Amino acid sequence: MNGWYMIIDVEKCEDCNNCFLSCKDEFVGNEWPGYSASQTLHGQRWMDIKRKERGQFPLIDVAYLPVPCMHCESAPCIRASKGGAVYKRDDGIVIIDPDRAKGQRDIPKSCPYGAIWWNDERDIPQKCTFCAHLLDGGWKEPRCVQACPTGALKAFKAGEEEVEKLIEREGLEPFHPEYRTSPRVLYKNLYRYSRCFIGGSVAFEKDGVVDCAEGARVLLRQGRGNHQETRTDNYGDFKIDNLEEGSGNYTIEITYKDCQKKIIEVELQGSLNLGTIMLQGG
């Protein structure tokens, strides 16, 4: 049977919060019997946008990571609930029954993503429902997807085989795969948030004049046979991304025209800006 999935492209998210606001608009002050009770105006973020800054001035970037309920195939919240308070529908959407879940404070604690919120006033746990009430009424996508201006969010219905091919083709990943929950929310360009880069600027000096080294070859090595290569842009800048944080020692080799080769050794803990690297000659 086909089920619902969501793809979130980290590279396209600009932190506009339209997804968050559309969720509030749909659920605050609205009761959807069988699906959800009214969401609180403050304190809950069913679409929670996390932020991460990488690098050092002036070479930095910021990534935004929208995190809703993952609608996991192996959902810890279902196991933590009692009396069928949390259940998974045939289409994969995980629902918290607002009546049966009353008083069950262990349900929010069970979510490793922190995607379940406690409503003190109603004494119930709450979370994203994938706008199941709208989908059941004929909508093609949840409100958050409809409201996204950059196309960072995409919802679709597909079978497992089709999704597996899509994962391979688009390079999709789960957030925190170590949780082993088999989430139906998958991320594209997740490295922008979860991994790091090495970058810098290359310049050369000749006859007392300093200029940008456009097209310089930057080779990153780690151990034998493991390397990545890039070229500097017209400002002499380069960035080698999608590196694992805390992954150890690297050698950077920079060559440019007739300049002397430059070799730099670094230990990578997090994203690293090497600053301006000066070459001699050229």
User: What pLDDT is attached to residue 282?
Assistant: 63
Q: Report residue 180 CA to chain centroid gap.
A: 17
* Three-class DSSP category at 95: strand
**pLDDT for res 224:** 72
CATH of 196-280 among 2.60.40.10, 2.60.120.10, 1.10.760.10, 3.40.50.1860: 2.60.40.10
CA dihedral 165, 171, 176, 181 (to 10 degrees): 0
Nearest residue to 95 (alpha-carbon basis) of 82, 107, 85, 108: 85
Q: Are 132 and 142 in contact (CB under 8 A)?
A: no
Quote the pLDDT of residue 1.
75
For the full predicted model, state whether its pTM sits above 0.85: yes
The tokens for 134 are: 């709208």
Q: Residue 206's pLDDT is what?
A: 81
Report yes or no: 187 and 175 within 8 Å, Cβ to Cβ.
yes
The confidence score (pLDDT) of residue 260 equals 92
1 by Cβ neighbours in 10 Å (0-12 / 13-18 / 19+) ranks as exposed
In this structure, are residues 142 and 131 in contact, taking their beta carbons and an 8 Å threshold? Answer: yes
Query: Which pLDDT score, from 0 to 100, does residue 207 have?
Result: 81
Work out the number of other CB atoms within 10 angstroms of the CB of residue 79.
9
- What is the predicted pLDDT for the residue at 225? 66
pLDDT of residue 227: 87
CATH of 3-193, one of 3.30.420.130, 3.40.50.720, 3.30.70.20, 3.40.50.880: 3.30.70.20
DSSP string over 113-173: T---EEETTTTEEE---TTHHHHHTT-SS-HHHHH-SSS-EEEEEE-HHHHHHHHHHHT-B
**Domain parsing of the chain, residue ranges:** 3-193, 196-280
Nearest to 95 by CA among 37, 157, 28: 37
pLDDT in tens, the chain (282 residues): 799 999 999 999 999 999 999 999 999 999 999 999 999 999 999 999 999 999 999 999 999 999 999 999 999 999 999 999 999 999 999 999 999 999 999 999 999 999 999 999 999 999 999 999 999 999 999 999 999 999 999 999 999 999 999 999 999 999 999 999 999 999 999 999 999 999 999 999 888 889 999 999 999 999 876 789 999 999 999 999 999 999 999 999 999 999 999 999 999 999 999 999 999 876
Instruction: Check residue 145 and give its pLDDT.
Output: 98
Alpha helices in 40-130 (DSSP H): 76-80, 106-110
